[in-house]
Structure 1
């Protein structure tokens, strides 16, 4: 689970890490620190190294300039408010979760098969998914309990 700041918002490091996790190259591989830093240097004309980006990602540095954050937002194609506004960050975070889920091939297959279904059919699919999710959650809890009980 992402760490949060004192006010309950996600830390800067977690926000940046989430962008790296969800926003990928066309071949679905993650962007490198060097690649992102180079693009940020080119867009701002300011110093922006891969090491500096790593420090931001890991929380070792947490006070970048506004221009640096705007460059990161531009690279990852999110509004700069993602870094500055807690409500906006939460909304964008939810959108990123959806994008992350859509990267999953199984989710894509289900979504593509649902195209063209009536609203009632989509409701039925949603209900079925809810039932399966509850069943899997129960099974997962039972499995954890069995593993815990089997541990000496």
Structure 2
């Protein structure tokens, strides 16, 4: 009996299979509310672009019951999630996009945690009461303080070498 594990590494590696890739996009690229898109919402948005796809077909793709979408569906799914179609086909593109999406997810989590603090909420409330010009001035001051702190951090670490 032949061992098929030396064949298509994309098919043999679960994290690289089409189903896993698609589900990663659903789990990672979420709307503002923080809950993942429904199959129906994705299908509706794709159909609005002129590509016919049903929620049940997306469900089959996500469950692995279908794993070979047409190029048209692959392109439409990639477009919906804002990734290149090669994300589904090329290991290097997949790894690069996945790395970037994981960085974005970590940054979004950090922003959610910051937004939950009383200091940030108070700053946001006060900024909301300012004129447009006042908000620009506050943003400029924040940028200046950020740059100063970054320079201090780099100065502390730069003297070690």
TM-score, normalised to structure 1's length? 0.66
Separation in 1, partners of 2:87, 2:97: 7
Deviation per CA, 1:25-84: give whole Å up to 9, x if none: 1222211100001112222433x1111101111111101001101101111111111112
Question: What stretches of structure 2 of length at least 5 have no aligned partner?
Answer: 1-9, 115-119, 121-144
**Alignment check: 8 A CA contact 1:101 1:107 kept:** no
1:115: how far off?
A: 4.1
Structure of higher CA gyration radius:
2
Please, what is the CA RMSD of the aligned residues?
3.1
Q: Is the 8 Å Cα contact of residues 18 and 88 (structure 2) preserved in structure 1? A: yes
| Structure 2 counterpart of 1:13, from 7, 14, 19 | 19
8 Å CA contact 1:22–1:96 kept in 2: the answer is yes
Corresponding residue for 1:118?
A: 150
Aligned to 1:146: none
Q: CA 1:13–1:123 in 2, change beyond 3 Å: closer, same or farther? A: farther
Q: 1:60 aligns with which of 55, 60, 65?
A: 65
**TM-score, length-scaled by structure 2:** 0.62
SS in 1 for 2:12: coil
Taking the aligned partners of 2:33 and 2:112, their CA distance within structure 1 comes to 18
In the alignment, structure 1 segments of 5+ residues that lack a partner are: 126-152
Q: CA deviation at 1:8?
A: 7.6
